[in-house]
Amino acid sequence: SQQGEEDPQALSIQEGENATMNCSYKTSINNLQWYRQNSGRGLVHLILIRSNEREKHSGRLRVTLDTSKKSSSLLITASRAADTASYFCATALTGGGNKLTFGTGTQLKVEL
Amino acid sequence: SQTIHQWPATLVQPVGSPLSLECTVEGTSNPNLYWYRQAAGRGLQLLFYSVGIGQISSEVPQNLSASRPQDRQFILSSKKLLLSDSGFYLCAWSAARGSGSNQPQHFGDGTRLSIL
């Protein structure tokens, strides 16, 4: 089974609204990362949050991590049509080196 | 700056034919290298990773193999392709600064492989 599960699987919002995606995982981690994938392209790294961090910001992105609940959330504020993509969380397991286990992703559609 | 190149972008191969996909990284030394496969509408499955020349770890039993003949070159191969090998193959690299060292991975643009 997948280490990371994103929720929701799909999300459709209007431009200017905020988008929130959630990720749950099962085992102890070194860090959790969020990636974005445009259709038919490779993944682009967005943000990395370490297991001892609770919140991190990058531009319009805000990521939180709750290791007690084994969950993370990605918030995109003031969304734009260009944010339309699939978003994946990935976990680096404790003792797993830099290998990542990816979730199944959230498909975000931002409409004009 | 570092760049990663992956080719070809698309490939159509008959069942039973061989496969060779190549990935090269520029602008960094001794990277960790990874091959992933992504089924349609799904997440990524790690196939192989490498921490150095000739050092390959396989994550799942399968019809594929990987090699790292040079520091920044990673090759995915098969002797005989199966229908189930169809998918989107992605190569990635990360900096190797100690084990478990909280490094992001950087991806190529992928190869869309269709088996007929």
pLDDT digits (tens, 9 = 90+) for B38-96: 988 788 999 999 999 999 999 887 889 999 999 999 999 999 999 999 999 999 999 98
In chain B, helix, strand, coil percent, each to 5? 5, 55, 40
Q: Is A45–B112 a contact, with Cβ atoms under 8 angstroms apart?
A: no
Smallest Cβ distance to A2: which of B43, B103, B106? B43
Give the three-state DSSP class for B28: coil
Handedness of CA A29, A34, A38, A39 (dihedral sign): positive
Can you give the pLDDT at residue B49? Answer: 93
Higher pLDDT, A73 or B39: A73
Can you give the pLDDT at residue A1? Answer: 41
Mean pLDDT computed over A58-73: 97
Q: How far apart are the first and last CA of chain B?
A: 39
Q: Is B107–A43 a contact, with Cβ atoms under 8 angstroms apart?
A: yes
Distance from C-alpha of B24 to C-alpha of B112, rounded to nearest angstrom: 17
pLDDT at residue A59 greater than cutoff 70: yes
* Buried b or exposed e, range A43-64, using 16+ CB within 10 angstroms: bebbbbbeeeeeebeeeebbbb
Which residues of chain B neighbour A106 with C-beta distances below 8 Å?
none
Cis amide linkage into residue A8, ω under 30° from 0: yes
Interface of B with A in 14-73 (CB under 8 A): 32, 34, 36, 42-46, 49, 51, 59
- Select the residue from A100, A104, A106 to test the B interface by mutation, using most B Cβ atoms within 10 A: A100
Can you give the pLDDT at residue B98? Answer: 61
Distance from C-alpha of B112 to C-alpha of B91, rounded to nearest angstrom: 12
Mean pLDDT computed over A56-76: 97
Distance from C-alpha of A42 to C-alpha of A60, rounded to nearest angstrom: 21
Can you give the pLDDT at residue B99? Answer: 53
Q: Running DSSP on this structure, what letter comes out for residue A82? A: G
Can you give the pLDDT at residue A3? Answer: 63
Distance of CA A85 to the CA centre of its chain: 12
Mean pLDDT computed over A24-46: 94
Chain B nearest-CA distance from A69, in A, is 21
Can you give the pLDDT at residue A2? Answer: 47
When the pLDDT of each residue in chain A is averaged and rounded to a whole number, the result is 93
Which residues of chain A neighbour B90 with C-beta distances below 8 Å?
42-43
Chain A residue with the nearest C-alpha to that of B48: A99
pLDDT at residue A100 greater than cutoff 60: yes
Q: Which helix (H) or strand (E) holds B93?
A: strand B87-94
Beta strands (DSSP E) in B14-86 are 19-26, 32-38, 44-52, 55-58, 65-70, 73-78
Higher pLDDT, B18 or B1: B18
* pLDDT tens, position by position, B8-36: 999 999 999 999 999 999 999 999 999 99
pLDDT at residue A21 greater than cutoff 60: yes
* Rounded percentage of chain A residues whose pLDDT exceeds 90: 84
pLDDT at residue B100 greater than cutoff 60: no
* pLDDT tens, position by position, A4-16: 788 899 999 999 9
Which residues of chain B neighbour A101 with C-beta distances below 8 Å?
46
Measure Cα distances from A12 to A103, A108, B23, B67 in Å.
Answer: 19, 6, 35, 42
Quick one: residue B38, left, alpha or beta (phi over 0 = left, psi -120 to 50 = alpha)? beta
Mean pLDDT computed over A23-48: 94
pLDDT at residue A25 greater than cutoff 70: yes
